[in-house]
Structure 1
């Protein structure tokens, strides 16, 4: 979705400027060259996504010896707010196990693999996967994270109530809805306000307007995951058919 929006923005700005500045064949050539550059950029991103998916698969093979049949697909290649892709970010992959048969179905355990990147993970030489820290979670761990996240995002502090609401409800931009009604509204914070909880030995969770902030203690990187990506992960675990 982000890639499509970015493509449309480039097209909408490129055509008027080129056609207004020049009225001959040179304008057409300039636009054609711009389109070729865009196509090359999209192809490069797709290639990076394929490399990231391969590296994630290799990480699973090396670190999860009991996972013998699984599907791994990219959930979000740049799961933060749209900024410089070379800066600290997170890649997410959805993993689901299955039973190998002639016509297999994805009906096993679901997990999500986070690849937290550090500054400079993409440079002129390509992707440096030494700057990626991997973190694998299942639905139970995700629910624990969401309970902690909603606790700092709202006035609701009862963990039992939060767990029940999150299982029945749906995360949206302004809170948690159950059957279309707002059950837990989030605080209305400005862009420079944060609420923090010390979640684990690996990370702190931060609530900021419309995003989940994850501060990695080892690398001291702060990654802000957009609310849309939080919704996608939550629906993958609890609401997908």
Structure 2
């Protein structure tokens, strides 16, 4: 489901017109062509993901020269909330440093690279990476972001309390949960309500419909990141 937009785009480019298939003969031809198109569509999505991963690696090499030994893996190729009908999105990558050796262990500093897309980032020609804005965060920055997000999404305003709960807790739909207890419940809002905090020079954080909204000041794009992606990032930083 996360890749549905790109998958459908690939399918639309590959499935032959039904009328043309009927001219050739039978429904079997249509079915066969459809199966081939599905396979080609999956391959196209995989190719796009690999290209995105390569571009992300190139960005790290160009912009973070101190990173000399690291692993970069796709965390989520389509990180925006599925209900968000905006043409902007976010691609997520896990980055972790390691000591070069035979069969190295990933035990170094962790970071997450956000690739924020803008309008027209994907078309029939593929992905235009000039329309992607890169934003790299570490554990400290993620904790600061989540603390600001939880603060604006709930009645809990003490930053130290929020941070302590976040370190051992999980962000779920209803709030921040520690074990079986909902330690910080989120506000119940309707779909057209927004609570905003001016987080940094680059972005505003928005609580709406149980999701994390990020408003990018440079492009004036709003991306809503689904709860599952927030959980993935949080687990990456804080799960042993």
The TM tier, using the shorter chain, reads 0.7 to 0.9
Question: Match for residue 13 of structure 1?
Answer: none
Cα-to-partner distance string for 1:101-127 (whole Å, 9 max, x where unaligned) = 111000000000000000111112221
Give the distance between the partners of 2:3 and 2:62, measured in 1 at CA.
32
Question: Match for residue 11 of structure 1?
Answer: none
Give the distance between the partners of 1:198 and 1:171, measured in 2 at CA.
21
Question: 1:26 Cα deviation (Å)?
Answer: 3.2
Report the TM-score, using the length of structure 1 for normalisation.
0.87
Q: Is the 8 Å Cα contact of residues 204 and 215 (structure 2) preserved in structure 1?
A: yes
Q: Is the 8 Å Cα contact of residues 86 and 120 (structure 1) preserved in structure 2?
A: no
Give the distance between the partners of 1:207 and 1:26, measured in 2 at CA.
53
Q: Is the 8 Å Cα contact of residues 117 and 133 (structure 1) preserved in structure 2?
A: yes
State the secondary structure of the residue aligned to 2:26: helix
Instruction: Say yes or no: does 1:200 pair with 2:200.
Output: yes
Instruction: Say yes or no: does 1:170 pair with 2:176.
Output: no
Aligned length: 224
Report the TM-score, using the length of structure 2 for normalisation.
0.88
Question: Match for residue 88 of structure 1?
Answer: 88
Give the distance between the partners of 1:83 and 1:35, measured in 2 at CA.
28
Question: Match for residue 73 of structure 1?
Answer: 73
Instruction: Say yes or no: does 1:229 pair with 2:198.
Output: no
Question: 1:134 Cα deviation (Å)?
Answer: 0.4
Query: What aligned pairs does 1:22-61 form with structure 2 within 5 A after superposition?
Result: 26-61=26-61
Give the distance between the partners of 1:175 and 1:69, measured in 2 at CA.
36
Question: Match for residue 136 of structure 1?
Answer: 136
Q: Is the 8 Å Cα contact of residues 167 and 238 (structure 1) preserved in structure 2?
A: yes
- Which portions of structure 1, spanning 4 or more consecutive aligned residues, are displaced by more than 6 angstroms? 83-86
Instruction: Say yes or no: does 1:213 pair with 2:213.
Output: yes
Cα-to-partner distance string for 1:51-86 (whole Å, 9 max, x where unaligned) = 110000000000111100000000011100236999
